[in-house]
């Protein structure tokens, strides 16, 4: 069983926090295309939510990953996708590898402030020419004595405008592409780091996203996470938590849109009756609710396996794939039932339609998820089944 009575109190506290400190301000943040990350993260840090499963010696709660999934699911009740995503970057995308493989020195410098909410973190993997194809990144960190000198650029960096440090994946040697990369903690105020622009996105409007350049940025080698050349491996491990977290964050968001659509179609009249009375509408909504519950079961199963120390690559990949596909189908169907109002920015379904589209792209596109699964099934051309 993934969740127990021990999860009830932190769940209740988080629900209360979302209702009081986030949802009343979401419309304003969406309009401004940014939310106050430092202010919000400090409040979350003070409540202990930025380090639920992080080591206690660096300010974390030392709990297992089930608490992170509980948090992800509850954040889905936030009435936009951008804020939950930004929080997830802080807790489950920029910091897992640091918490697991970083030296005590680098964890004190970068992890502890992130857990406390005193620093905003971002993760730098994607580049203009290397999104889901992580092995193809070009950003380099050249060895120079006790330092790395970093050159290159990163794209689509969530929290990048407001971040204090970036968990950067860079090439640190000329070895094979899966063995030449390292993860490095880089202060965003370091000389040569430039936030080139704040990106204008289709959805996730309240989340700031940046393009970042690195021009001869010098950082000490002690900022490296774990061993040199192990960055690709660390990032792949980190991806599993990211993908599972992202899928869990979709659950309540999907249920919210179903509930809002039921309410709207029940009250909207056409041709002498409510829209909801049409069989095609109430049947479709029942199907969508069933799909959400099936996704929840898959996520919970993966969560239980992860807590038990098992490799969840297969299940996390499936969950991420399904979450993205379901988000597209569900929001498209619901928007249709809202009719003309569904096309208006003032309605929750239009925001969900825009925001949910990213799930099939970010953290590895659907096609990459399918490649991973096919490789594991032995059906990918050139790969034999084990």
Residue 255 falls in the annotated catalytic set:
no
Q: What's the CA gap between 17 and 77, in Å, rounded? A: 11
Q: What's the CA gap between 290 and 308, in Å, rounded? A: 27
Residue 286: other Cβ atoms inside 10 A: 11
Question: Exposed e or buried b for every residue in 99-134, given b needs 16+ CB within 10 A?
Answer: bbbbeeebbebbbbbbbbbebbbbbbbbbeebbbeb
Question: Exposed e or buried b for every residue in 177-202, given b needs 16+ CB within 10 A?
Answer: eeebbbbbbbbbeeeebebeeebebe
121-124 vs 165-171, strand pairing mode: parallel
Residue of 299, 364, 289, 362 whose CA lies nearest to 326: 289
Residue of 14, 182, 167, 154 whose CA lies nearest to 90: 167
Q: What's the CA gap between 297 and 295, in Å, rounded? A: 5
* Catalytic hit among 73, 127, 241, 242: 242
Residue of 111, 121, 234 whose CA lies nearest to 172: 234
Q: How many residues does the chain have?
A: 386
Could you list the active site residues?
242
């Amino acid at each position: 069983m993934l969740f127990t009575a021990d999860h009830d109190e932190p769940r209740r506290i988080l629900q209360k926090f979302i209702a009081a400190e986030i949802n009343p301000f979401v419309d304003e943040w969406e309009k401004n295309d940014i939310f106050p990350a430092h202010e919000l993260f400090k409040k979350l840090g003070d409540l202990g939510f930025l380090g639920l499963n992080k080591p206690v010696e660096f300010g974390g709660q030392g709990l297992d990953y089930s608490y992170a999934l509980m948090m992800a699911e509850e954040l889905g009740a936030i009435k936009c996708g951008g804020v939950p995503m930004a929080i997830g970057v802080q807790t489950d995308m920029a910091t897992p590898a640091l918490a697991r493989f970083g030296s005590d020195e680098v964890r004190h410098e970068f992890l502890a402030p992130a857990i406390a909410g005193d620093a905003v973190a971002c993760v730098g993997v994607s580049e203009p020419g290397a999104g889901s194809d992580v092995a193809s990144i070009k950003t380099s960190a050249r060895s120079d004595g006790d330092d790395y000198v970093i050159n290159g650029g990163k794209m689509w960096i969530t929290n990048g405008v407001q971040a204090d440090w970036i968990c950067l994946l860079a090439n640190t040697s000329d070895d094979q592409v899966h063995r030449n990369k390292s993860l490095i903690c880089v202060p965003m105020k370091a000389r040569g780091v430039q936030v080139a622009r704040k990106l204008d996105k289709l959805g996730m409007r309240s989340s700031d996203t940046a393009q970042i350049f690195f021009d001869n940025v010098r950082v000490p080698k002690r900022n490296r996470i774990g061993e040199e050349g192990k960055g690709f491996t660390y990032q792949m491990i980190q991806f599993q938590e990211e993908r599972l977290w992202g899928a869990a964050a979709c659950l309540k968001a999907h249920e919210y849109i179903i509930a809002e659509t039921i309410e709207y179609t029940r009250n909207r009249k056409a041709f002498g009756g409510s829209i909801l009375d049409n069989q095609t509408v109430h049947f479709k909504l029942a199907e969508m609710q069933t799909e959400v519950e099936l996704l929840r079961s898959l996520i919970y199963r993966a969560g239980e396996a992860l807590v038990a120390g098992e490799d969840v690559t297969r299940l996390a990949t499936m969950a991420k794939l399904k979450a993205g596909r379901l988000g597209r189908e569900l929001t498209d169907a619901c928007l249709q039932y809202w009719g003309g109002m569904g096309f208006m920015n003032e309605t929750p379904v239009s925001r969900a339609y825009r925001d949910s589209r990213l799930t099939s792209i970010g953290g590895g596109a659907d096609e990459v998820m399918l490649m991973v699964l096919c490789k594991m099934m032995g059906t990918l051309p050139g790969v034999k089944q084990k």
